[in-house]
Every structure is written in structure tokens, then in C-alpha cells.
Structure 1
């Protein structure tokens, strides 16, 4: 779909510049992770994130 086409285009542009593309995704975002894996991305490491809210 459109998300895959846009992601593939941006990835190719990054690679054309000689840079290494990378992504962040929430661990429970299965659809995004599946798309990224189809585009050739692989899981490298997890990151813990804290979201703070002003009281």
C-alpha cells in the first residue's frame, strides 16, 4: 500500500546518500513492524521509554 511505497522510497533515498536508515516503533505496533521487516529492516535493540505528563 501507500505506507509501504513511501517507506521504500524514503529508505532508498537514505541509502543513495550512503547513510544507514533506521526506524523506531512501539513494540505492540505489529502492523508497522511487519511492514518494516518486509522492507528489509530487522530488530536490533529495544528501548525503554517513559512518557511524563504534567499534573
Structure 2
């Protein structure tokens, strides 16, 4: 019997169908990475809104 908790097993098991992703999803994922790099450079939190203005209405 596996000692891995059920929630972990579900999260680690392969998906049967890929989730659809759009170009916007990819661009936002890239923006998160850019924000992470900027945060390391500046030592302060960086918002994706700051990097990609106009993505989310205020």
C-alpha cells in the first residue's frame, strides 16, 4: 500500500487529457517568470499588472 496521501497521488498522476492552453496563458506564464527575475533584481515584490499593463481591469 502506498504511503503517499491521496491528494498527492492525484496531483502527481499523469493527466488523461491535456488541458487547453491559449497564447494568453503562455504570455501570462512568461510574465510571471519575468516578474520573478525582476523581484530578485530589485528585492521587492513585482506585480504582473506592473509588467503587462491593461491585462486586467482595475
Q: TM-score w.r.t. structure 2 length?
A: 0.36
For normalisation by structure 1, the TM-score amounts to 0.38
Q: Which has the higher contact order (CA 8 A, sep 6+)?
A: 1
Compare the two structures and name the one with the higher helix fraction: 2
